[in-house]
Amino acid sequence: MISSKQPSVEQLKKAVAIAEKIKELETQLSELLGGGAPAPVVTRGRKPKAAKVESGRKARNISPEGRARIAAAQKARWAKARKG
């Protein structure tokens, strides 16, 4: 739900300062515990992106015909479940 009240400039500045402090503390913690990368920050309404794995495999795409076959099979399963 979007709030009609907009944050003030001072509130935004304070939020930025807090975010920078959090980032600094995460870096310090990371260095203290072994140098691993800090955990991704989760923001409201967004999921962190998964790390890209370099496996050497090409991305596989499905054809429109294959997608249609899968959809038809799923509809048939739903019809069977409703019937039974």
Q: What is the pLDDT along the chain (84 residues), one digit of tens a residue?
A: 455 688 889 999 999 999 999 999 988 888 888 766 556 666 666 655 555 556 677 778 899 999 999 999 999 999 999 987
Per-residue pLDDT at 82: 92
- Where are the chain's structural domains? 8-39
The answer to whether 30 and 37 are in contact (CB under 8 A) is yes
Query: Which pair of structure tokens corresponds to residue 66?
Result: 């294959």
- Three-state SS for the chain is CCCCCCCCHHHHHHHHHHHHHHHHHHHHHHHHCCCCCCCCCCCCCCCCCCCCCCCCCCCCCCCHHHHHHHHHHHHHHHHHHHHC
Per-residue pLDDT at 77: 95
Per-residue pLDDT at 75: 96
pTM of the model: 0.36
Look up tokens 């991704």; give the residue: 40
